[in-house]
Copies of this chain bind each other. A is one copy, B any other.
Amino acid sequence: MRISALADAAGLPVATVKFYLREGLLHSGVATSATQANYDESHLRRLRLVRALIGSVGLSVQQARTVLDLVDHPGDDLYSTLGRAVGALPPAAAAPGDDSDPYPRARAALAALGQVYDPDFAGVGQLEGALAAAEAAGMPITPDRLARYGRAVADIADYDLERMPQEPHAAVEYTVLGTALYEPVILALRRLAHQDGAVRRLRGKR
């Protein structure tokens, strides 16, 4: 298909598709003349991914390039590639504290949950910042709350991991999009579950 049909199919302006081509986020089409090229399903699929990363997730072009590089070249150590890909997503992690114990709250929380603690993984710094903010507001996460949240979240994560594709490129894409795109779903569902519970508790079941 021509670039105009590709842009149409992806729901993007032609100028945006040309911009992604120039920035190297989208691979070139097959030239059919000096000024025209043909695009196929692989381009449409890639555009959907780029649009999700930049449009929905809100990555910069540079951040999207980092993620797409990992999708394209997952390498031999898939575990480390997945960690780097997820680490390229917002939010930024809290700055590490003391060198010998950079993330004490996250370390303690992960020990309580019996989970791996790897301070190089961006999620650790994110958890540290989130726990510190709750603490500063006078609403620290108690061990009891952590245990209950941890159990519920592990249930979600198990489901996610069971469905991760085997093929490495697809695994990185699934992990990045499944992390970033499903996070807002989970948060909206929590607010709606609060609302649903509040209706029943405060207004009587209806």
A residues with a Cβ closer than 8 A to B are 11, 45, 48-49, 51-52, 55-56, 78-79, 82-83, 86, 91, 106, 110, 115-116, 118, 121-124, 126-127, 129-131, 133-134, 136-139, 141, 145, 148-161, 174-175, 177-179, 181-199, 201-203
CA distance in complex: A186, B187 (Å): 9
CA distance in complex: A136, B122 (Å): 27
Q: B145 contacts A198, CB within 8 Å?
A: no
Q: A134 contacts B182, CB within 8 Å?
A: yes
Give 23 CB contacts A-B under 8 Å.
Answer: A11-B136, A48-B138, A49-B137, A55-B133, A79-B203, A86-B195, A123-B188, A124-B192, A127-B189, A127-B192, A130-B181, A131-B185, A134-B181, A134-B185, A137-B177, A141-B182, A148-B155, A150-B189, A153-B189, A157-B194, A183-B190, A186-B186, A186-B187
Q: A56 contacts B182, CB within 8 Å?
A: no
Nearest-CB distance from A142 to chain B (Å)? Answer: 9
**A145-B116 CB under 8 A given contacts A187-B183, A192-B127, A194-B179:** no
**A160-B194 CB under 8 A given contacts A48-B136, A137-B51, A150-B189:** yes
**A181-B150 CB under 8 A given contacts A126-B191, A161-B201:** no
